[in-house]
Amino acid sequence: MLIALGAYERTLTLCDDCASVGIANPLIMGWRGPPVRCLALLGRHEESREAAAGLLAVSEEWGTPRAMDRALRYAASVEPGPDRLEMLGSSVRLLEDTHSHPERAHSLHAFGAALVAADRPDEAATRLTRRVRPGRLLRRPPSLRWASPPLPRAAAP
């Protein structure tokens, strides 16, 4: 919210406060990502890239696809064309066989937007259409199938 309001310095201060808590898991406390964006918006591009590199290092150490996906998306946001496309393509591939559907949707959107910005709209349409299978997105992951019975189908009016 603070970023949307343009309060970049305040966001950086809050992220520094979060860092002092000492939680290492990048998914539980995602304070490392917003500074990447804020520093870039403040024109502090070198610091922004350093923050992105730190986020990538922590996420690689953590080792989960979701953590890496988020880090790659933040890092890609401050990189030029070819590097941005490579990072976003990697984030999509990381989540391909996971049940992290919201993150996958974010990655697909970012990758598609980057392809369009690189004047490759046909490639964006081909890649994204091929990867989105609505039926698969709506199925419950195996770990949740036992949790509750499926909802009954509504009777036709």
pLDDT tens across 122-139, in order? 998 887 776 555 555 444
Residue 112 maps to a domain? yes
pLDDT at residue 61 is higher than 50: yes
Residue 45, both tokens: 């591009």
Residue 51 maps to a domain? yes
What DSSP character marks residue 62?
H
Residue 104 maps to a domain? yes
Q: What is the CA radius of gyration of the chain?
A: 18
- Domain, as residue range, for 46: 8-133
pTM for the full predicted model: 0.76
CATH number (domain holding residue 106): 1.25.40.10
Report pLDDT digits (tens) over 62-96. 888 999 999 999 999 999 889 999 999 999 999 98
**Alpha helix (H) residue ranges in the chain:** 8-19, 33-41, 45-62, 65-76, 81-94, 101-117, 121-131, 134-138
What DSSP character marks residue 78?
T
